[in-house]
Structure 1
Amino acid sequence: MGTVVVVLRWLLVVGGVMMMAVLLACSGSEVALVTRIAFGSCANQSAPQPIWDAIINFDPQIFIWLGDNIYGDNRHPFKLFGKERTVGPWKNVPRFVPSSEHEMQSRYKKAKNNPGYSRLQEKTKVIGTWDDHDYGLNDAGKEFGGKINNQRLLLDFLDEPQDSPRRKQAGVYASYTFGPVGRQIKVILLDTRYHRDPLFSDGSILGSLQWTWLEKELTGPPSAITIIGSSIQVISNLSATTGPLFYMESWGRFPKERTRLFKLISDSKRGGVFFISGDVHFGEVTRYDCASVYPLYDITSSGLTQAVEKAVPLPLHFIVRFAACLTPTTMRVMDKSCRYRSCTYGQPNFGAIEINWDATPVTLKFDVRDANGLPVTSVNISLLELQARKIDPTAIMKAGKCQKHCCLEVNLPWLVRYRLAILFFCSLAVFLLALIGGGYAVISVLVRCFHKCKLE
């Protein structure tokens, strides 16, 4: 009998070891050391997507969608005049309208079956959140009626398990932890659409339930690195400097929410936090030094297919780059690594994060890379730089009238803040004056010719 008991115990031990081995094998992507992460946004499913080759060559272990993973809404033509006017103060037709469920499914299917993306899925863990165009409507927030159904379609696209909490909650926010203990990377993906109050309201972006969830995530078990993914920019506040010509969405348009976010990070005493974002159709790296914790970085990559320079003819690209140089740059990281003087990049791009765990101290490299996989702007930092310490924003502000990486664009003198609009309207005025002057000169010549012919 004793022998039988011993044998049974031995079998249980062996079985337990084998079961543990199976579990470790099945969850290998969770415990393997992560050194390379790629991310991107704004991928029109109907446009060519050659950039997947560069992303695959980067060989990321994780790829993060940051929104506009498809363009699911329908866009009416740009019309200033006519019966159906989609732009201007006299517009009578909305430029963007929601599409049907069948159209959304068809577009997701087309995006998922893209050959380049399919090859990435075979070897890379893919996670993500959404932005407005895959949420269902341009610039939409909590008022959008199709959000419940479209949440299911997004999660299907991301291959989210049917029993996932994300399928039962209001919104697609989620968190993931990768890597072994001591070298873990936590990825927090926010939902900046489902609960967002109207623009210009300075209300809430995340909603009360998501704020409670985020606080638990940040005050929970520590991780070496914490990446917060936001579909809209967190630190850059260009939305305040491009008006009244046009307005971009960002956390800067909800100042109270952004202040609350910075305070939550500071109060959590969590080290290694930085942001990644998309939405704006250009790439840049921004930095905020006055968050009372440590420098906060925001690496913006947008888009995989959509980019500001692609929206204008090639001969006019210099105008876009010139305008980028004119926008205030108090938060943008400017150094010699930038391909262009403005340190923004308006062609298709993706974001890349590399972690060197073997370095002492551990180092991080943030890149925005072009369609060939070459960096267009980069930042190299030590993980020690992202460790909690007390920063006095008041002291930093006293050091200079508008200290670099501390003075938000909304605090700039109005002449600097609105210089892009001032230049535009002055140029328009000069053009109109030249047009009027030229017209007057032509009319004067014609009148003289008429009188001369009459006299003869």
Structure 2
Amino acid sequence: MTTMVLWTWLITILHVLVVVGVCASGEPVVSRIAFGSCANQSSPQPIWNGIIDFDPQVFIWLGDNIYGDVKRPFKLFGRERTIGPWKNVPRFVPASETEMQFKYKKAKSNAGYSLLRKKTQVIGTWDDHDYGLNDAGKEFSGKNISQRLLLDFLDEPHDSPRRKQAGVYASYMFGPKGKEIKVILLDTRYHRDPLFTDGSILGDSQWAWLKKELYGPRTEVTIIGSSIQVISNLSATTGPLFYMESWGRFPRERNRLFQLIAKSKRDGVFFISGDVHFGEIVRYDCATGYPLYDITSSGLTQAVENAIPRPLAFLVELVAWLTPTTMRVIEPRCRYRSCTYGQPNFGAIEVDWGAMPVTVKVEVRDVNGDSATSVNIPLSELQNEGTNHGSTVKSVELQKQCSLEIDLPWIVRYRLAFLFFFASAVFLLSVVIAPIILSRRVFGKCKFD
């Protein structure tokens, strides 16, 4: 009888440990991670309520945590022209250190974010606007001041190695053995060469660090956070109308990243990213021995549909649907046909450690915490099986999403530009020709002596 009681107590204790997510080592099991980017400190931020309801154990900032630089208004004419081929002043200029400190203080004191900080571990990296200047890279002179201000915002300890290194890259380990999650946060600003150069994004020191991290102790899940999109290269299909920053605009650097992951034989790797002011999930099947996913969440306040009048929001959805993409994951569960989401959003990751096999659910959620697009990924699919024992069936399946946007036929790649110029021509012709036809009809009926 005593033995039965002891077994009953032991089973009960083990059950409690599983429920509360604690192992013998004292490390809590992490199963919910939220992330986001692009939060204007001066805008309303109701989205924190949705994030808090998700109850994440970790929240990851992916950049543009504040909008620290100064944006001048659109001016086509006048002494200070900020747009057009004849512009004579930059649209964005750096703010002073005092202004940046004030903006960080405002962001940190937001009631919703303050509540999240009390119950959730917050980590993060930066993008351009909190780095100090739109689209800036290693040439930006104020980056060391910006680094200190960001790390203050993240409550980084004063003796942290991040305060002594060139750049804000970092890595974190969560969970007990057998249920470990590694988070690698990249710095895509401090060492980045200028756009259009196909140079480096990370710089030599960060590449050496990243190699050590990927070749280090194995974990069940490895999340690589990049402020800009890694897999998607929409600039290849939206140009020459407009361009977005991404790893795809540095093809040699992106190939180097894919090769490093492949050579490390690390399982369970996927990306999270921000920057673009919409959310989507993309996938590339031919970089490593298993599919690579990139879950983009952008932004917490800044979103493409918020940039135009609400009645015209359908135009954004139409453009998203018409823009050619070879990487986006199209699921029946998507809220919109394009499987992009252009309203304020955050990213959500749920790991079901009790499932067989273990499943990772990745989502883009709206301001209320409802799903806009999501994918369930069995962890068994993210296993680097190598060339010796990879099955033929699996290799055939991996050919589904292997075409890069840059490899699309030109008539498909520039479809959006063709449609835009055609619509503009029709509009201009209607503006010019319609009055002429109307005047002829009116004056043609008149007889003049």
Same fold (TM over 0.5): yes
- CA–CA distance in structure 1, aligned partners of residues 400 and 429 of structure 2: 39
- Identify the residue that residue 32 of structure 1 maps to in structure 2: 28
- CA–CA distance in structure 1, aligned partners of residues 314 and 426 of structure 2: 20
Partner secondary structure for residue 374 of structure 2: strand
**Identity rate, percent:** 72
Partner secondary structure for residue 376 of structure 2: strand
Which residue, out of 67, 73, 85, partners 2:69? 73
Change (3 A) 1:413 1:30: farther
Partner secondary structure for residue 364 of structure 2: strand
- Identify the residue that residue 181 of structure 1 maps to in structure 2: 177
Which residue, out of 125, 138, 147, partners 1:142? 138
- Identify the residue that residue 165 of structure 1 maps to in structure 2: 161
- Identify the residue that residue 224 of structure 2 maps to in structure 1: 228
- CA–CA distance in structure 2, aligned partners of residues 391 and 191 of structure 1: 32
- CA–CA distance in structure 1, aligned partners of residues 47 and 381 of structure 2: 32
Deviation string, structure 1 residues 129-156 (Cα, Å, up to 9, x no partner)? 0000000000000000000100000000
Which residue, out of 327, 333, 352, partners 2:323? 327
Q: Is the 8 A contact 1:30 1:179 kept in 2?
A: no
1:444 is the counterpart of 2:440: yes
Change (3 A) 1:282 1:382: same
Amino acid aligned to 1:271: D
Amino acid aligned to 1:381: I
1:267 is the counterpart of 2:263: yes
1:294 is the counterpart of 2:290: yes
Report the TM-score, using the length of structure 2 for normalisation. Answer: 0.91
- Identify the residue that residue 407 of structure 2 maps to in structure 1: 411
- Identify the residue that residue 17 of structure 2 maps to in structure 1: none
Instruction: State the 1:82 CA deviation.
Output: 2.4
Change (3 A) 1:30 1:274: farther
Instruction: State the 1:360 CA deviation.
Output: 1.5
- Identify the residue that residue 307 of structure 1 maps to in structure 2: 303
- CA–CA distance in structure 2, aligned partners of residues 96 and 29 of structure 1: 50
Instruction: State the 1:237 CA deviation.
Output: 1.0
Amino acid aligned to 1:217: E
Instruction: State the 1:337 CA deviation.
Output: 1.0
1:193 is the counterpart of 2:189: yes
Which residue, out of 257, 277, 281, partners 1:281? 277
- CA–CA distance in structure 2, aligned partners of residues 95 and 334 of structure 1: 36
> Computing the radius of gyration over CA atoms, which structure comes out larger, 1 or 2?
1
Amino acid aligned to 1:104: M
Partner secondary structure for residue 31 of structure 1: coil
- CA–CA distance in structure 1, aligned partners of residues 138 and 236 of structure 2: 23
Amino acid aligned to 1:298: D
Stretches of structure 1 that go unaligned for 5 or more consecutive residues are 1-27
Moved over 4 A (4+): 445-449
Amino acid aligned to 2:152: D
Deviates more, 1:314-323 or 1:341-350: 314-323
Instruction: State the 1:293 CA deviation.
Output: 1.8
- CA–CA distance in structure 2, aligned partners of residues 348 and 318 of structure 1: 16
Instruction: State the 1:338 CA deviation.
Output: 0.3
- Identify the residue that residue 19 of structure 1 maps to in structure 2: none
Query: RMSD of the TM alignment (CA)?
Result: 2.1
Instruction: State the 1:329 CA deviation.
Output: 2.5
Amino acid aligned to 1:213: W
- Identify the residue that residue 21 of structure 1 maps to in structure 2: none
- Identify the residue that residue 83 of structure 2 maps to in structure 1: 87
- Identify the residue that residue 59 of structure 1 maps to in structure 2: 55
Deviation string, structure 1 residues 339-394 (Cα, Å, up to 9, x no partner)? 000000000000000001111111110010000100010000111111112379xx
Equivalent pairs counted in the alignment come to 423
Amino acid aligned to 2:331: D
Amino acid aligned to 2:213: E
Instruction: State the 1:81 CA deviation.
Output: 2.3
Change (3 A) 1:29 1:69: farther
- CA–CA distance in structure 1, aligned partners of residues 99 and 421 of structure 2: 40
Amino acid aligned to 2:258: F
- CA–CA distance in structure 1, aligned partners of residues 99 and 212 of structure 2: 37
Instruction: State the 1:239 CA deviation.
Output: 1.5
Change (3 A) 1:436 1:327: same
- CA–CA distance in structure 2, aligned partners of residues 75 and 447 of structure 1: 50
Partner secondary structure for residue 275 of structure 1: strand
- CA–CA distance in structure 2, aligned partners of residues 241 and 252 of structure 1: 12
Instruction: State the 1:292 CA deviation.
Output: 3.0
- Identify the residue that residue 39 of structure 2 maps to in structure 1: 43
Partner secondary structure for residue 240 of structure 1: helix
- CA–CA distance in structure 2, aligned partners of residues 95 and 88 of structure 1: 11
- Identify the residue that residue 10 of structure 1 maps to in structure 2: none
Which residue, out of 92, 99, 104, partners 2:95? 99
- CA–CA distance in structure 2, aligned partners of residues 109 and 445 of structure 1: 65
- CA–CA distance in structure 2, aligned partners of residues 370 and 326 of structure 1: 23
- Identify the residue that residue 18 of structure 1 maps to in structure 2: none
- CA–CA distance in structure 2, aligned partners of residues 190 and 291 of structure 1: 19
Instruction: State the 1:442 CA deviation.
Output: 4.3
- CA–CA distance in structure 2, aligned partners of residues 68 and 292 of structure 1: 30
Amino acid aligned to 1:407: S
- Identify the residue that residue 7 of structure 1 maps to in structure 2: none
Change (3 A) 1:399 1:428: farther
- Identify the residue that residue 249 of structure 2 maps to in structure 1: 253
- CA–CA distance in structure 1, aligned partners of residues 290 and 376 of structure 2: 16
Instruction: State the 1:164 CA deviation.
Output: 0.3
Deviation string, structure 1 residues 108-142 (Cα, Å, up to 9, x no partner)? 00000000000000000000000000000000000
Q: Is the 8 A contact 1:29 1:178 kept in 2?
A: no
Q: Is the 8 A contact 2:261 2:288 kept in 1?
A: no
- Identify the residue that residue 9 of structure 2 maps to in structure 1: none
Amino acid aligned to 2:70: N
- CA–CA distance in structure 2, aligned partners of residues 210 and 80 of structure 1: 41
1:238 is the counterpart of 2:234: yes
Instruction: State the 1:266 CA deviation.
Output: 0.2
- Identify the residue that residue 433 of structure 1 maps to in structure 2: 429
- CA–CA distance in structure 1, aligned partners of residues 276 and 179 of structure 2: 32
Partner secondary structure for residue 241 of structure 1: helix
- Identify the residue that residue 390 of structure 1 maps to in structure 2: 386
Amino acid aligned to 1:430: V
- CA–CA distance in structure 1, aligned partners of residues 25 and 365 of structure 2: 25
Instruction: State the 1:439 CA deviation.
Output: 2.9
Aligned pairs for 1:101-120 within 5 A: 101-120=97-116
Partner secondary structure for residue 238 of structure 2: coil
1:206 is the counterpart of 2:202: yes
Instruction: State the 1:84 CA deviation.
Output: 1.7
